[in-house]
Amino acid sequence: MLIDRINKFLPYIKTGGHRISVPRDLKSITTINKDRECAPESLGLSSSAIDKIWQSVEAYYKTGLHPAITLVIRYKGQIVMSRGLGYSHVGAAGESPDDGSKLATADTPLCLFSGSKAISAMLIHKLAEEGKLNIHDRVSQYIPEYASHGKHLTTIHDLLTHKAGIRIMPIANPTPELMYDFDTVVKVLAESPPVGDPAKKQQAYHAVTAGYILGAIAQKVSGETLPQLLERILAKPLGCEHFTFGMAEERRHQAAVSLPTGLDNVPVISKMLHHMLGISDRDITSAINSPQAHEAVIPAANIYCSAEEVCRFYQMLLDKGLWQGQAVFKPNTIAAATQRGKLLFDHSAKAPMRYSAGFMTGEKLWSIFGANTAQAFGHLGFINILCWADPARDISVAFLNTGKSLAPEGFIGFANVTSTISSVFKVK
Question: Domain segments of the chain: what residues?
Answer: 2-118+231-424
In 12-66, which residue ranges form alpha helices assigned H by DSSP?
47-61
- Are the CB atoms for 230 and 123 separated by under 8 Å? yes
In 278-407, which residue ranges form alpha helices assigned H by DSSP?
281-288, 291-295, 307-318, 331-338
272: left (phi over 0), alpha (psi -120 to 50) or beta: alpha
- Answer positive or negative: Cα dihedral of 301, 305, 307, 308: negative
CATH topology of domain 2-118+231-424: Beta-lactamase (3.40.710)
- How much is the pTM? 0.95
- Are the CB atoms for 270 and 406 separated by under 8 Å? yes
Torsion of CA 167, 169, 172, 178, to 10 degrees: -150
Euclidean distance between CA atoms 233 and 218, whole angstroms: 12
List the chain pLDDT tens, one digit each, 428 residues: 677 888 888 888 888 898 999 999 999 999 999 999 999 999 999 999 999 999 999 999 999 999 999 999 999 999 999 999 999 987 655 454 455 568 999 999 999 999 999 999 999 999 999 999 999 999 999 999 999 999 999 999 999 999 999 998 888 878 888 899 999 999 999 999 998 888 889 999 999 999 999 999 999 999 999 999 999 999 999 999 999 999 999 999 999 999 999 988 777 677 777 666 667 767 778 788 899 999 999 999 999 999 999 999 999 999 999 999 999 999 999 999 999 999 999 999 889 999 999 999 999 999 999 999 999 999 999 989 999 999 999 999 999 999 999 999 999 999 999 999 999 999 98
Q: How far is CA 357 from CA 160, 304, 426, in A?
A: 5, 22, 27
Residue type, 224: E
| Partner residues linked to 260 by β-bridges | 404
343: left (phi over 0), alpha (psi -120 to 50) or beta: beta
Counting other chains too, the contacts that 329-338 makes at CB distance below 8 Å and 24 or more residues apart are 329/122, 329/125, 329/126, 329/129, 330/129, 333/125, 333/126, 333/128, 333/129, 336/125, 336/128, 336/135, 337/121, 337/122, 337/125, 338/377
Euclidean distance between CA atoms 354 and 361, whole angstroms: 6
Kind and range of the H or E run holding 408: helix 408-424
Q: Are strands 395-401 and 385-390 parallel, antiparallel or unpaired?
A: antiparallel
| Partner residues linked to 283 by β-bridges | none
